[in-house]
């Protein structure tokens, strides 16, 4: 399973770090200093040994200077090592911060079609686990790679100054280690990429299970989802074992080659010390053995870094894949100041899957202040129509215009600020009740918030909360009931008072008595405002100016409640099924 990272991945990784060039330069400078002082120290110890070896050479004072110099160099080396690590960690944290910011910003520009087709857990995995592994493997490993290469080059220079033959033997044997590392690293990328993908699937399943635990238990599906998790866990174990196995065998292989090199240096050096007549001393042999160890050690580290780099590149490829996803269609340039509320829909066609048509040749003309109700069976295109009005999705064909301006030519902010939307699915953020109500109007006064809550009939339960408007609620409303959460969402719209309204099953979770009261408040709010109401309960839309009956993406009937009943068609059957 030999795979390579997509072309240009490494280049983009280096570009991500290039924002911190001064830190990179300092890190490399301190790493080079650390390598130099580390390599110079064996020479000092070799000199010290040569000064005391032999007959009548027992004066310890002869080694004071080289040992003192070695101690100073060791201290400087330790300081350089600490500074290198500190700079690397700073670069890693800043790069992670930057990439996560880019990904979060990307989420806000991605088309909804991408978010609808990718599990939330997978997106979270790319933002958290993949970026962490990219940081650890690339940023921290790259400096280690630089130090290793520099150590190898520096060691060769010092060894050549002492003995050419022994150095040549070392250089001839070490390519075996490089060959083994390259062969193994080429196989690890595919396994690490598969590991990241399976981990993302597992994260998505955990996220889905935790977010819908009540439903899962209500339908007694614990065993089913446990089986799915165990299957993913087993698959993750298999691919992880393969990735870890192939990445871990590099170290034993390179260690074997390194031990072979060390043995050759020891034998050749001992022979040279005996036969050279003093040209090659015992101290030089000691330094040579130290250099042989230092020369072969980076090959172990480089082989380990190579495996980590493959993992980092696999994770980086997934991050860049998301960053490269095409943004939603470009924003328009127009932001009209006047708001009338006239909507014209002309020959609109749209489908989520191009092979399965949904809305075709949709035409509609709505004047300011009209209340338009949309009814029909599940899957007929009601909510899709709302998505097109808000430009969450763009039409495949045809045009939608608001106040005579095509919405594709309008700025999304200008378009969406004209609508107030209450959906069947509530959405509340962790924070206070006040913050959630004022989500669309952060500068609202307390008097405005209380008035909106009273109009939405939410004030009766808000004032009973422990801290009233300042009560903290958790993610998605915390312990609030579905009805209470929906009342807060209705209050949010009541506060903003937008010129146009979209109500998609806005009172589906509210009791009948409260619904009647809210309906009256809605009727007051909808006066003079263009309103689109999606409803399954026909009792909520009997007073609509026009009722659109949709089926299979088309308007098959339209008119007032009385006109549609007189036709004795699809709407009549739908009405009788609820009230007969």
pLDDT, residue 447, reads 92
- 457 or 424, higher pLDDT: 457
The answer on pLDDT for 496 being more than 50 is yes
Mean pLDDT across the chain: 81
The answer on pLDDT for 5 being more than 70 is no
The answer on pLDDT for 58 being more than 60 is no
pLDDT, residue 2, reads 46
Where is average pLDDT lowest: 30-39, 170-179, 547-556, 567-576?
170-179
pLDDT, residue 473, reads 87
Report the pLDDT averaged over residues 469-485: 81
Q: Which two tokens stand for residue 119?
A: 């599990």
Separation CA 136–CA 309 (nearest Å): 9
Domain with CATH 1.20.1560.10 in the chain: 9-323
pLDDT tens-digit readout, 514-549? 777 777 777 777 888 888 888 777 777 877 888 888
Which residue, 132, 19, 5, 106, is CA-closest to 323? Answer: 106
Can you give the pTM of this predicted structure?
0.64
Highest-scoring range by mean pLDDT, 236-250, 274-288, 360-374: 360-374
The answer on pLDDT for 194 being more than 70 is yes
Return the SS3 of 411.
Answer: coil
Confidence of residue 296 (pLDDT cuts 50, 70, 90): confident
Half-sphere exposure of 429 (CA within 13 A, CB side): 9
Question: Can you name the CATH fold of 9-323?
Answer: ABC transporter transmembrane region fold (1.20.1560)
Confidence of residue 449 (pLDDT cuts 50, 70, 90): very high
Cβ atoms 565, 571 nearer than 8 A: yes
Report the pLDDT averaged over residues 165-173: 81
pLDDT, residue 54, reads 59
pLDDT, residue 1, reads 44
Where is average pLDDT lowest: 219-223, 361-365, 468-472?
219-223
Separation CA 580–CA 576 (nearest Å): 5
Query: Strands 530-534 and 371-375, how do they pair?
Result: parallel
pLDDT, residue 185, reads 67
Torsion of CA 553, 558, 562, 563, to 10 degrees: -130
pLDDT tens-digit readout, 508-521? 767 777 777 777 77
pLDDT, residue 60, reads 63
Give the burial class of 341: count Cβ atoms within 10 A of its Cβ; 0-12 exposed, 13-18 middle, 19 or more buried.
Answer: buried
- 2 or 495, higher pLDDT: 495
CB environment 258-274: b (16+ within 10 A), e (fewer): beebbebbeebbeebbe
Highest-scoring range by mean pLDDT, 194-203, 230-239, 372-381, 532-541: 230-239
φ, ψ (nearest 5 deg) of residue 554: -125, 155
pLDDT, residue 43, reads 83
Domain with CATH 3.40.50.300 in the chain: 343-579
Q: Among the residues of 212-249, which ranges form H helices? A: 213-218, 222-248
Query: Strands 554-559 and 546-551, how do they pair?
Result: antiparallel
- 491 or 47, higher pLDDT: 491
Cβ atoms 65, 109 nearer than 8 A: no
Report the pLDDT averaged over residues 232-260: 81
Confidence of residue 363 (pLDDT cuts 50, 70, 90): confident
Report the pLDDT averaged over residues 376-391: 83
The answer on pLDDT for 295 being more than 70 is yes
pLDDT, residue 79, reads 92
| CATH architecture assignment, domain 343-579 | 3-Layer(aba) Sandwich (3.40)
């Amino acid at each position: 399973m030999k795979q390579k990272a997509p072309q240009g991945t490494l280049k983009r990784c280096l570009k991500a770090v290039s924002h911190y060039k001064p830190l990179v330069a300092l890190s490399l400078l301190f790493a080079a200093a650390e390598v130099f002082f580390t390599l110079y120290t064996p020479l000092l110890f070799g000199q010290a040994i040569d000064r005391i070896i032999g007959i009548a050479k027992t004066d310890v004072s002869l080694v004071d200077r080289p040992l003192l110099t070695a101690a100073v160099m060791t201290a400087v080396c330790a300081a350089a090592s600490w500074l290198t690590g500190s700079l690397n960690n700073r670069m890693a944290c800043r790069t992670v911060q930057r990439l996560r910011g880019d990904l979060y910003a990307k989420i806000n520009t991605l088309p909804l079609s991408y978010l609808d087709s990718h599990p939330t857990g997978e997106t979270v995995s790319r933002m958290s686990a993949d970026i962490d592994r990219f940081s650890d493997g690339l940023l921290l490993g790259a400096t280690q790679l630089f130090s290793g290469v520099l150590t190898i080059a520096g060691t060769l220079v010092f060894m050549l100054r002492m003995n050419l033959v022994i150095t040549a033997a070392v250089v001839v044997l070490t390519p075996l280690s490089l060959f083994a590392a390259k062969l193994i690293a080429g196989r690890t990328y595919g396994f690490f990429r598969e590991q990241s993908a399976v981990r993302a699937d597992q994260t998505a399943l955990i996220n889905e299970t935790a977010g819908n635990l009540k439903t899962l238990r209500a339908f007694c599906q614990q065993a089913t989802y446990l089986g799915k998790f165990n299957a993913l866990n087993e698959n993750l174990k298999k691919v992880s074992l393969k990735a870890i196995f192939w990445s871990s065998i590099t170290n034993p292989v390179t260690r074997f080659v390194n031990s072979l090199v060390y043995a050759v240096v020891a034998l050749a050096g001992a022979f040279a010390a005996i036969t050279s007549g003093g040209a090659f001393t015992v101290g030089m042999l000691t330094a040579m053995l130290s250099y042989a160890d230092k020369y072969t050690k980076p090959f172990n580290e480089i082989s380990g870094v190579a495996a980590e780099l493959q993992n980092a590149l696999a994770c980086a490829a997934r991050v860049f894949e998301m960053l490269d996803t095409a943004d939603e269609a470009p924003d328009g340039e127009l932001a009209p100041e006047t708001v009338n509320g006239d909507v014209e829909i002309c020959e609109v066609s749209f489908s989520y899957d191009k092979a399965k048509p949904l809305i075709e040749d949709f035409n509609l003309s709505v004047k300011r202040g009209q209340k338009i109700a949309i009814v029909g069976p599940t899957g007929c295109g009601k909510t899709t129509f709302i998505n097109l009005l808000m430009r969450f999705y763009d039409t495949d064909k045809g045009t939608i215009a608001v106040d005579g301006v095509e919405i594709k030519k309008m700025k999304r902010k200008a378009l969406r600020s004209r609508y107030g939307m209450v959906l069947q699915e509530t959405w509340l953020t962790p924070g206070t009740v006040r913050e959630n109500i004022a989500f669309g109007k952060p500068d609202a006064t307390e008097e405005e918030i209380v008035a909106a809550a009273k109009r939405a009939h939410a004030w009766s339960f808000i004032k009973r909360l422990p801290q009233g408007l300042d009560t903290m609620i958790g993610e998605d409303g915390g312990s609030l009931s579905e009805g209470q959460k929906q009342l807060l969402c209705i209050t949010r719209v009541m506060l903003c008072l937008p010129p146009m309204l979209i109500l998609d099953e806005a009172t589906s979770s509210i009791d009948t008595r409260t619904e009647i009261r809210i309906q009256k408040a809605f009727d007051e709010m909808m006066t003079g405002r263009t309103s689109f109401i999606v409803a399954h309960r026909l009792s909520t839309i009997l007073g609509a100016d026009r009722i659109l009956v949709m089926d299979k993406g088309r308007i098959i009937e339209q008119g007032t409640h009385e006109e549609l009943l007189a036709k004795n068609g699809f709407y009549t059957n739908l009405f009788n099924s609820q009230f007969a």
